[in-house]
Amino acid sequence: MKPLALPKNQRLCSSKAIDALFSKGQSTIAYPLRAVYHMQLAIPGEPQARFMITVPKKKIRHAVGRVLVRRRIREAYRLNRHLIFPDLETSGKTVDLALVYLSTDIADYHNIEKCMQSILSLIAQKVKES
């Protein structure tokens, strides 16, 4: 597998896992992103981190804009997820992550990337603490 690839098993698809994430998870905001995350003990064979992206239709009305924002968020996550993996390996935990877009305007990639870096570094600190 390529080191920067984003395989299907790292996407959060299960409705049970999504319900557990939003009911038990913690939240943080780095505008224009809100991250909801839930840490649990690692299960052998499972990925270290699973994620999902939500861009509400209420915030971005046109599908083209929602897809553009979703692509930018996915790329920022793909390039910066290395910030949490070392801490997850040492602690023996996995994290489920939901990224919700909050702004009504389409943010540029650099702004989204800065927010993603701050969110992932905060999650890495939480993993170290627990």
Distance from C-alpha of 76 to C-alpha of 115, rounded to nearest angstrom: 9
Those residues whose C-beta lies under 8 Å from the C-beta of residue 121, and which sit 6 or more positions away, are: 83
Residue 101: pLDDT band with limits 50, 70, 90: very high
CA-only gyration radius of the chain, Å: 14
Q: In the predicted model, is pLDDT for residue 4 greater than 90?
A: no
pTM of the model: 0.93
Residue 72 Cα to chain centre, angstroms:
12
**H/E run at residue 75:** helix 63-80
18-73 pLDDT per residue, tens: 999 999 999 999 999 999 999 999 988 889 999 999 999 999 999 999 999 999 99
What is the band of 17 on the pLDDT scale with cuts at 50, 70, 90?
very high
Q: pLDDT confidence of 2, banded at 50, 70, 90? A: low
Q: With the CA atoms of 124, 48, 98 and 114 taken in that order, what torsion angle do they form, in degrees rounded to the nearest 10?
A: 40
**Interatomic CA distance for residues 71 and 35, integer angstroms:** 16
Tokens of 37: 């995350």
**Fold assignment, 13-129:** Ribosomal Protein S5; domain 2 (3.30.230)
User: Per-residue pLDDT for 15 more than 60?
Assistant: yes
